[in-house]
A = this chain, B = another copy of it.
Amino acid sequence: MSYERIKRIIIGRPLPTERLPEEKLLKRYALAVFSSDALSSTAYATEEILFTLALAGTGALALSFPIALAITALMVLVVISYRQLILAYPSGGGAYIVSKENLGETPSLIAGASLLIDYSLTVAVSVSAGVAAIVSAFPALISYRAEIALLFILILTVANLRGIRESGKIFAIPTYAFVIGLGITVIYGLYLYVTGYRFPVSRPEVSVVEPLTIFLILRAFSSGCAALTGIEAISNGVPSFREPAAENARITMTLMAVILGFLFVGATGVARLYGIVPSTTETVISQIAKGVFRGGFFYYYIQFATALILFVAANTSFAGFPNLASVMAADGYMPRQLKQRGYRLAYSNGILALTFFAALLVIVFKASTHDLIPLYAVGVFTGFTLSQFGMVRYWQKTRHNAAWWRRAVINAVGGLATLIVTVILAVTKFVDGAWIVIVVAPLLVLAFRKIHEHYVSIAGQLSLDQLKAIPPIKNNVVVLVSTVHMGTVKAIQYARSLNPTVIRAIHVDIDPTETKKVNRRWAEFGFGIPLEILSSPYRNVLGPIISRLREIDREMEDGILTIVIPEFVVSRWRQFFLHNQTALILKALLFFWRNVVVISIPYHLR
């Protein structure tokens, strides 16, 4: 089966360019489509706060509720700030574009690096958390977590190479299924608690490992900030909204903030009321749902809906990462292979790059959400901060009305808040893994710069600005002759047709009998080209050829040195090993010579 055939089976028929979609979404779909990333983080954010607090013993868990409230307050600030960004960038403005237009190159590259890292982490974290939801319901699968996560990444990769679109309405289902499910769990859980119901928790007490310090509380806060990842997605997706797009996007963002706040604070509150303690084998949401619904059908529904929204959240990165990479490649900061749409209109190379990084993270961190979280939020908050400060500059520059400074202040407050949180995140999570991001991001920025320099440099070298006329070239042709046979004759024919300024033939004397034969036949057929015999005391073919070519190249004043090599093409690959592959090696050696062209004249053997 050919490569082409296999490709068709896996990723489908090629799609023509005019099939790029232009779908516009109603608010109820847009909410679901662009909020899956943000809303799905409630599946693990509460748990991460509890994990950190548990280090200071069971008593410290009580702090989870005020921490959740503080994070929600931070979210309100960020959302208010981003509602303004929607007004200014109705065509969709990610942190990279906003920074580039308002803050300059370096901030935009930092934003770009942060976002690319985040997209990779979103896939790794969401898939890992989705698998954790499944494994909580089916504990027998616990030792295959990493394998299941990799399988889901593979499925997402293939689906996206086929060209799933982020805006597909079908993605609304998991989001609503999850929101409704978790909403009912929270409300019913509160109701049961009020009516006096309690359920036993699997591990009611934890011993004190660390004292309860301000630092530990900040670490718990940092862990919970994972709840805010993805809230900016709506502001990137404005062009997909129905008109009035900006207004609809703003309303949708507010709606999302309300739902997110309710689910996050609600889930944290219920966990607290029932005294739930985090565990490495069962998620907190699973513990709540199992207790509240006594493990029945609705419990499995919750786990399934949680897993589903998390996979959808991971899927959003498969649109975000390749898109951003393509924009950055068009700006010359990333390899240009990332710029073009593939066979099915998806940015295939970007998708494959994301798959690679996400799979690497899942393998290294063994699909543990808890181990991945410390890496996660630093990049997200860096992006928030740069976007908002970019907006401050934007209002300053445009001053579209007298109230410009009011808008600037709102964004400045939001930016300052996220800046402080970024620092808190970096410091409190540094040893747990944030250092990886702090090391990798600047290296990425450096790489972007180097790539850009390279492209700028070659654009200069390739520029036609200095080109006056196109003079004819002088062609010095050398034919390499090992024996005189039909392949050689074809090469000589070709070489003579090249209209050369100078032409010569070279034979290396390895075996005196063979050389005598070559000389005799050369004379006999009279090819009209002088034949030079090079001696080779060490029976080496390449050495004498290379040094003679170097000589010829030096003597030539200008023009091009063309080397014509007769080459056998055998009909079966295994016959390849029955012939000397000197031509191949010679081509590799001459590849870096300037003004040298190597021409293989194939002679096809049956």
Contact = CB atoms under 8 A, between A and B. Distances in A.
Interface in A558-578: 560, 568-569, 575, 577-578
A214 interface: no
A204 interface: no
Contacts of A499: 497-499
A602 B597 contact: yes
A599 B602 contact: no
A508 to B, nearest CB: 12
B600 A594 contact: no
Interface in A39-73: none
Contacts of A538: 14-16, 343
Contact of A580 (B337, B454, B527, B575): B337
A198 interface: no
B489 A578 contact: no
B600 A597 contact: yes
Contacts of A138: none
A340 B510 CA distance: 9
Contacts of A560: 494
Interface string A1-18: 000000000000011110
Contact of A597 (B337, B342, B601): B601
Interface residues of A, number: 69
Contact of A578 (B336, B527, B592): B336
A579 interface: yes
Contacts of A470: 489, 492-493, 496, 525, 527
B494 A467 contact: no
Contact of A464 (B475, B489, B600): B489
A197 interface: no
A473 B497 CA distance: 7
A484 interface: yes
A194 interface: no
A545 interface: no
Nearest to A497: B473
Contact of A537 (B17, B337, B472, B494): B17
Contacts of A511: 340
Nearest to A499: B499
A500 to B, nearest CB: 9
A591 interface: yes
Contacts of A463: 485-486
A202 interface: no
A541 to B, nearest CB: 9
A402 interface: no
A487 interface: yes
A540 interface: yes
A16 B537 contact: yes
29 contacts: A14-B538, A16-B537, A16-B538, A336-B580, A337-B580, A340-B539, A342-B539, A455-B578, A457-B605, A457-B606, A462-B486, A463-B485, A464-B484, A464-B486, A464-B521, A467-B486, A467-B489, A467-B525, A472-B496, A473-B493, A475-B494, A494-B597, A498-B498, A498-B499, A569-B591, A592-B604, A597-B599, A598-B600, A599-B599
Rank and list the top 4 A-B pairs by shortest CB-CB distance, nearest first: A462-B485, A499-B499, A14-B538, A16-B537
Given A343-B539, A596-B602, 12 more contacts: A458-B568, A462-B485, A464-B484, A470-B489, A470-B492, A470-B496, A473-B494, A475-B497, A497-B499, A499-B499, A594-B602, A597-B601
